[in-house]
Chain A
Amino acid sequence: MIFLKFDRRIFQYFDWTLLALVLAICAIGILNIYSAGFSVSESHFPFYVKQIQWILLGLFFMITAFLIDYRVICQAAYLIYGISIALLIIVFFYGYTTHGSQRWISTGFFAFQPSELMKLALIIVLARYFDNHNSNEPYKLRELFIPFVIILIPCLLILRQPDLGTALIIMLLFASIIFFMGVNWKSVAIALVSSLVLLPLGWYFLKAYQKERLLTFLNPEHDPLGAGYHVIQSMIAIGSGGVFGKGFLNGSQTQLKFLPEQQTDFIFSVFAEEWGFIGALVLAIMFMSLILWGLKIALHSRDLLGTIIAFGITALISWEVFINVGMVLGVLPVVGIPLPFLSYGGSAMVCLMTAIGLLMNVSVRRFILQS
C-alpha cells in the first residue's frame, strides 16, 4: 500500500507556511478570548484555557488527517457522510438545547456539535462524487441532482435545529464547488428562479428571532434595544478602536460587556476594539494569505480529488470569515457564524484543524504522487 507507507518526504515537503499561519491566527484567538473573559468572573476553567485544550486536541486530529493519504480518506467518504448524518439525527432526537436551538450532543465529558463535522464530511463526499463523475462539459441540472440531494438532507436537518448560519454556509459551499466544477448557465438560471419561488416558503421555516434578525438587518435602527443593539454595540466597539486600538485588556466595550457573545460570534469586535485598524488589517492579511495559500494548494494538486478538497476547505474558511466579519461590521445580517480559529468553540476548532490537516495532506502529496 503506497498510501499508508511512511514516507520521509512528507516531512521534507511539509507545508510549514500553512501550519505557521494557522497557529499564528490561533494564538491571536487565545489572547483575544483571554481579554473577552477578563472582566467576567469565570469558573475555574476560563474559556481561553479551554480553547487551548481544543487547539491541542485539534492538532492531534490535524496530524491524523495529514498522515493518511487523502485518497484513502475519500474511499471512506460515504461512510463519513453517513456517520455525520446519523449524528445529526441523534441531535434531532436527543440533542440538548441552548439559546433556543438544539445543536449539541452531550457525551458527558463535553458537548459536540455534529453540524461542524458535517461541513467537513460534505467537502469530502462532494470531492469524491465529482472525482468519480468527472466531465469536461459544464454540469447540467440533471447531473447535479445527486449532489443536490447529498447537500439537502443535512441542510434540512440543520435548519430544523434551527441553525440558519450553518445551513447557509453549507449552501454557499455547495454553490462554490459546483461553480468551480463548471455548471451550465441555463441550469443556474432555472435553479435561481425556482429558489426565488421557494423563498417565501422558507420564511415559515424561520423562528421568530431569525425573522427579527433579518428584519433588523434591513433596518438596524428600528429596534436599537433588541437585535439591533448588538450590531450597534459591535460597530461602536470596532469604531472606537480607531487606528491603533485601545490596547490589550483595555477595550471598554468588551470589558463592560456591551458586546453580545463576545467570546464567540463577536470576537472580531473585541479584537478590532483593542488592536485598532492596524491590528485588524494584520489579521485580515493573515486570513487572506491563508485563503490564497489554500487556492494555491488546490491549483497545484496532482489530481482532481485533491483540487476539490483543497478548494472546498478554502471556500469554507473564506465564507465563514467573510460572513462573520461582515456581520460584526454591520454589512451583513447577524446569522450566528463563528470566526474560524478565533471564536471560542470546541467542535468548530477541532473540525477546522482537521480540515487544515487535509489541506496539508493535499499540499504535501503533490510532491509524492508522481503518477
Chain B
Amino acid sequence: MEKHFSLRNGPEPADFRQKLKIVIALLLIIFSVLLVRLWYLQVIKGEELRQRSENNSVRFRKIKPLRGLIMDRNGLVLVDNRPSFDVLYMPHKGKDHEAVIERLKNIYKSRSLELSYDQPFPKKVKPYLPVKLEKNVSMEKVAIVETNALALPGVYVDVSPVRLYLDGEMMAPVIGYTGEISKEELEKANDEHASGDVLGKNGVEKYLDAYIRGRRGAELVEVNVYDKEIKNLGRIDPIPGYNIVLTIDADLQKAAWQAFAGKPGAAVALDTRDGSVLAMVSSPSFDPNLFNSGISYELWDKMQNNPLNPLSNRAISGQYPPGSTYKLIIAAAALEEGIITPEQKIFCNGSFELGNRTYRCWRKKGHGYVDLHRAIVESCDVYFYTVGKMLGVDKIAQYAKLFGFGKATGIDLPHEKSGLIPTKEWKMARTKEIWQVGETVSISIGQGFNLVTPLQLANAYSAFANGGTLWRPHLIKRIELTDGSIYKEFLPEKKSEFALSKKTIDILGRALWGVVNEPGGTGSAARRLNSDVCGKTGTSQVVGLPESDKARREKKISAFQRDHALFVCFAPLKSPEIAIAVILENAGHGGSVAAPIARKILDAYFEGKKKLKPAQVVAHHQLPDKLQD
C-alpha cells in the first residue's frame, strides 16, 4: 500500500491493485467462456451447423395484405383484388444466370410465347436478392414454370394480390391507383413500410391509404430444394384493409361518364342537402389496372405528356373561368346590396362602351330592354357589365367567397385546387398594378382573372339551392371493417352559412328555372318534365381572343383555344336535392353541349330514385324497433 502511494503520488482506494487483479481474472474467465462457446459452435459443431445453414429450408415470407374494397353508396363493389403471378429468379440457386434465362426463353418459344421482362437482366446480381423476370403472367406461363422447375433452377412463381378496378376508367381520377412504394416514399416512411409494399398513389386510394392498405402478415415455411413449400411452420395472417363506402352512386357516375364519350371535361353532382358527392367524372381518363404491376416507362411517359392530362382529376384540380355561370353570384350580390331592383331594366344594344373599349354581348344584335329575370334567362352580358361595374371588384369578391369560391372546398381527396377570385389588393400584390374598371367588367361575366373548379361551381349552386349552407363536399361515406360493421362514419360538415334574403332567393331561383324551362332560355337542353330543373349556362373564353368574333365563328382557332362550355344546375326548384356542374373543354357553347350532359345525369338520378324509394322506407321502419330492444 505505502509503496503504491508514494509511487503514484495520489490517493488510492483500498486494495486497489488487488481489486484490479480480481477484475482482470474475472475478465479472462468471461473471455474464455465466450471463446470456448465460439470454438464449440464454429469448430466442433461448425460442419453440422454449416449443413444446417445450407439446407436452411426455412423461409421467412412476407404476405401482402388484401387492400380494402371500395364500394359505391349502395354497396356495389368498384374496386376489388385479384391474384397476380410474377416470375422471379433467385440468383444463388442458379449457377449460370444467362443459361437459365435462355432456357426459359426457349421453353416459352416452343409454346410460341415470349419472355416479356422489360429491363435487361442486371449485370451484377446480389446472390440472395430475387430478380423479377416477369410480372402479372398468364396461367399458362405459371404452369410452364412450375412443371419445368428442374430445368430452371432458381426460377419460381410468386403470387400476390393486386387491385382489380371494375369500370376502371370511369372512376380512375377519383379513386386513383396503386403501385409499389417508390424510393422517395420509402425514404420518408419510417418503420412501417418496406420495399415492395403497395401504396395508394392518388385519389381515394392515396387519401385513405392508411385505412385501405391493411397490415402485412408473415409466415415461416419449410421448403424443398426447388423452393416449393412442404410444411408451414407458423403464420401471422395479414390483416386485410378496411372497406371504403363512397357517397358516389355508380349508376349516376356511369351515366355521367358515358355522356362525356371521352371528350375532355368534368362533371360533379352533389347532394344539396349534405354535400355528399353523387358523381364525379373527369374525362379523358386512364385504366388504373395498368399501374398494378408497375407501368412501363413508355406508357407512363405517354400519359404524363398527354396534353389532355388523363391522370388529373379535373373536377377538383381543373381551374376554369366560370363564364356566365358566375352571373348568379353577381345578381345575388347586386340584389342584396340594393344596387338594382328586379324590375329595373337595362338596355342592351349588343355592346358596352367603357372608355375607348367595347365589351360585347354574346348576342350581337342585343337583347333590348331587359330586367334581371330576362338577363339571367337569356344570359345578357351587357346587363351584367353594367351591374358588375356598379358593384365593384371587391364587393363581387366578397360574395364570391361567401359562395365558396377562391378557397379549396376541403373535399376528402388529394390535390384539390383553390381557384382564384381577384380583388384590388390581390392584383396589387401580384402585379404591382392598379385594378382597372375594365377588369371588373370582365369578371362580371366570369371572365378575366376568375378561376373556379367544377366542384366549387357545383358547391356554390348547391349552397344557393339549399338556402345558404356551404357544405364541405365529401365522397367518403364510411369506413367499414371486413365484417361490414362500421369503423368510422363521415358525417356531413357545414363549412359556413350565409343568409340571402328570401326575396333574392325567390327571384333568382325563378330566373334559373327560367333558363331551363322558359322559351328563349339558354339551358333548355336540360329540361325535364316534372323535375323543375334550374340552371345556368356558361361559355368561358380560354384566351383573350381578338375582339372581332369573325375568327371564332369561322373556327379558325386551334382546338385548345376554343371556349369551354359550362352548365350548372340544381333540381327540383322546390326542396332541391341535387346540384350538378358540367364543363366541357374547348367545346363551344354551354347550353348546347354541357346542358345535355347534365340532363343525362338528371335522368339517371330521377329514374334511379324511383327504384330506390321503397327500400329507404323499409329501412326507416326497422330502425326504431331495434333501438327498443
Residues of A within 8 A of B (CB): 38-39, 41, 43-45, 98-99, 134, 136-138, 179-182, 225, 229, 235-243, 250, 252-253, 255-258, 272-273, 276-277, 280-281, 284, 288, 291-292, 295, 298-304, 307, 318, 322, 325-326, 329-331, 371
Give bound CA distance, A284 to B33, whole Å.
Answer: 12
Are B13 and A239 interface neighbours, CB within 8 A? no
Number of A-B contacts (CB under 8 A): 147
Are B50 and A242 interface neighbours, CB within 8 A? yes
Tell me the interface secondary structure of chain B in the complex. helix
CB distance from A99 to the nearest CB of B (A): 8
Give bound CA distance, A97 to B100, whole Å.
Answer: 46
Are B53 and A236 interface neighbours, CB within 8 A? yes
Query: Quick one: which of B38, B48, B186 contacts A280, CB cutoff 8 A?
Result: B38
CB distance from A92 to the nearest CB of B (A): 21
Are A239 and B39 interface neighbours, CB within 8 A? no
Are B220 and A182 interface neighbours, CB within 8 A? no
Q: State the 9 A-B residue pairs at the shortest beta-carbon distance, nearest first.
A: A239-B49, A240-B53, A255-B128, A242-B46, A225-B234, A239-B41, A240-B50, A277-B42, A39-B128
Residues of B within 8 A of A (CB): 8-17, 19-20, 23-24, 27, 30-31, 33-35, 37-39, 41-43, 45-50, 52-54, 56, 58, 60, 92, 126-129, 183, 186-187, 190-191, 195, 220, 233-234
Are B31 and A288 interface neighbours, CB within 8 A? yes
Give bound CA distance, A273 to B9, whole Å.
Answer: 49
Give bound CA distance, A135 to B33, whole Å.
Answer: 35
CB distance from B547 to the nearest CB of A (A): 56
Q: What B residues does A276 contact at CB under 8 A?
A: 42
Q: A44-B187, A295-B23 are in contact. Are A252 and B13 (CB under 8 A)?
A: no
Give bound CA distance, A44 to B34, whole Å.
Answer: 37
Q: A238-B38, A325-B34, A329-B38 are in contact. Are A303 and B46 (CB under 8 A)?
A: no
Tell me the interface secondary structure of chain A in the complex. helix
CB distance from A25 to the nearest CB of B (A): 16
Are A43 and B50 interface neighbours, CB within 8 A? no
Are A304 and B20 interface neighbours, CB within 8 A? no
**Chain A CB within 10 A, most for which of B9, B12, B34, B220:** B34
Give bound CA distance, A321 to B233, whole Å.
Answer: 33
Are A41 and B13 interface neighbours, CB within 8 A? no
CB distance from A307 to the nearest CB of B (A): 8
Query: Quick one: which of A38, A136, A253, A281 contacts B53, CB cutoff 8 A?
Result: A253
Give bound CA distance, A238 to B50, whole Å.
Answer: 9
Are B37 and A331 interface neighbours, CB within 8 A? yes
Q: What B residues does A326 contact at CB under 8 A?
A: 34
Are B24 and A182 interface neighbours, CB within 8 A? no
Give bound CA distance, A132 to B34, whole Å.
Answer: 38
Give bound CA distance, A19 to B158, whole Å.
Answer: 50
Q: What B residues does A318 contact at CB under 8 A?
A: 27
5 contacts between A and B (CB under 8 A): A238-B38, A239-B46, A239-B52, A239-B53, A303-B10
**Which of chain B's residues has its CB closest to A241's CB?**
B42
CB distance from B20 to the nearest CB of A (A): 6
Q: What B residues does A371 contact at CB under 8 A?
A: 9-10
Q: A225-B233, A304-B11 are in contact. Are A281 and B35 (CB under 8 A)?
A: yes
Are B60 and A239 interface neighbours, CB within 8 A? no
Are B42 and A280 interface neighbours, CB within 8 A? yes
Query: Quick one: which of B34, B47, B126, B128 contacts A284, CB cutoff 8 A?
Result: B34
Q: What B residues does A273 contact at CB under 8 A?
A: 53
Give bound CA distance, A255 to B127, whole Å.
Answer: 8
Are A252 and B12 interface neighbours, CB within 8 A? no
Are B43 and A242 interface neighbours, CB within 8 A? yes
Are B19 and A238 interface neighbours, CB within 8 A? no
Q: What A residues does B15 contact at CB under 8 A?
A: 182
Other 7 A-B pairs with CB < 8 A, given A136-B13, A281-B38: A98-B190, A182-B13, A239-B48, A252-B92, A253-B53, A276-B42, A277-B43
Give bound CA distance, A94 to B415, whole Å.
Answer: 32
Q: What A residues does B43 contact at CB under 8 A?
A: 242-243, 277
Give bound CA distance, A157 to B34, whole Å.
Answer: 32
Query: Quick one: which of B30, B38, B195, B220 contacts A41, CB cutoff 8 A?
Result: B195
Are A240 and B52 interface neighbours, CB within 8 A? yes
Give bound CA distance, A272 to B46, whole Å.
Answer: 11
Q: What B residues does A300 contact at CB under 8 A?
A: 8
Q: A240-B50, A256-B56, A272-B42 are in contact. Are A43 and B187 (CB under 8 A)?
A: yes
**Chain B CB within 10 A, most for which of A98, A134, A242, A322:** A242
Q: What B residues does A272 contact at CB under 8 A?
A: 38, 42
CB distance from A158 to the nearest CB of B (A): 21
Q: What A residues does B191 contact at CB under 8 A?
A: 98-99
Q: A304-B11, A329-B41 are in contact. Are A299 and B20 (CB under 8 A)?
A: yes
